[in-house]
Amino acid sequence: MRLPVLLAALVAVATCTETFVGHQVLRVVPQSNEELQKVQELQELEHLQLDFWLAPHRLGLPVDIRVPFRSLQAVKAHLEASGVSYSIMIEDVQALLDEERTEMLRSSRQRSVDTATFNYEAYHTIDEIYNFMDMLVAENPNLVSKLEIGRSTENRPLYVLKFSTGGTNRPAIWIDTGIHSREWVTQASGVWFAKKIVQDHANNEGVASILETMDIFLEIVTNPDGFAYTHTKNRMWRKTRSKHAGAICVGVDPNRNWDAGFGDAGASGNSCSETYHGPYPNSEPEVKSIVDFVKSHGNIKAFISIHSYSQLLLYPYGYTETPAPDDQELHELSAKAVAALSSLYGTKFKYGSIITTIYRASGSTVDWTYNQGIKYSFTFELRDTGRYGFLLPAKQIVPTAQETWLALKVIMEHARDNMY
């Protein structure tokens, strides 16, 4: 047994972390309605304990399924008997987790004393990210402040960094990362964005001109309970950690909990589903805190919620096929943002409305913010397209953040130049 694997196994045992030895991620691309139906049938078989990283929605779109070792034979037999072809995207999930864990242990040995020595090329725990925030605020008291907009279900603070050069209630841009806790490249990118805003301001370049007239709000750990849980118990945890009366399972999908088409098709009423919408809109404090903040601020002009994976830039709507009134402007702006993103490393992104580009999704963040009058409401799905999925190697963090930043800058500049 290789030493890092042994070490990871010992760490797992010591911390009661769920392991994924022998789990595979299979990809199916349904080419006919029959194939799509056969894959959808797997969703009903709860005893297989399948984790749909990308769920089956329409023809030609990849479906990625994490299959536990003990269910592999049954799933492959089901697909083969139905004549549905599949490929293995990840041969052994645990092997990737072991590499990720070893990398994190190596990085955590180098304690950073300021944001200049902080390791942006590594994944960090919630405490390390909160420590980073405090260092950034201490180093830049005239630009950065830390707001607590609420508390999570498990009573963790919901922190938002505010970047402002003065004035009161100026037009603002909101960015959040990590609302789905297992999408680690998003929180890591959020940390990089925070440092980049400070650097641009110091060097009078990039977003410095935006900060002359607008404030930027950045919530890096939007789902802190879920994020802490991905580090201590289950790396694949997506939802919040709330327990609701009558619910069999823990957690709500915080991106199905908003009051925009809430509970319609495109979310689940089953508490054990990864897309469980919760008992009622804004039932999750992580969502309600943002709702209250947006309403009380009243002057947010762009709202960008960052997810992974699939390499997409999406705008409303997800819950209805009716195009958003600003559909054409949002489409043109997306094209410019994606062109800027691709210019750095050639990373290809698709773009469009949620419902036409991927699938119907009800109760999502940006549908609610758009209906609140925030015209420039966007969702990103960052790298990759499935080779690693949610387990993107740490060496891709900075390139991912850099390219995404170019797209964000296009959106922010457009919001500044097209005030409404």
Helix (H) or strand (E) holding 402: helix 397-417
How much is the CA Rg of the chain, to the nearest whole Å? Answer: 21
* Residue 91, Cβ density class (10 Å: 0-12 exposed, 13-18 middle, ≥19 buried): exposed
- The number of beta carbons lying within 10 Å of the beta carbon of residue 162 is 15
CA angle 269, 43, 187 (to 5 degrees): 70
Active site residue 80: no
Question: H-type helices in 91-180, by residue range?
Answer: 93-108, 126-139
- Residue 293 tokens read as 């903040």
Q: Which of 128, 274, 381, 403 is catalytic?
A: 381
* Residue 102, Cβ density class (10 Å: 0-12 exposed, 13-18 middle, ≥19 buried): middle
- The number of beta carbons lying within 10 Å of the beta carbon of residue 270 is 14
- Residue 50 tokens read as 């399948």
d(CA 1, CA 7): 10
Helix (H/G/I), strand (E/B), else coil: 396: helix
Sign of CA dihedral 205, 206, 208, 213: positive
Which of the residues are catalytic?
A: 381
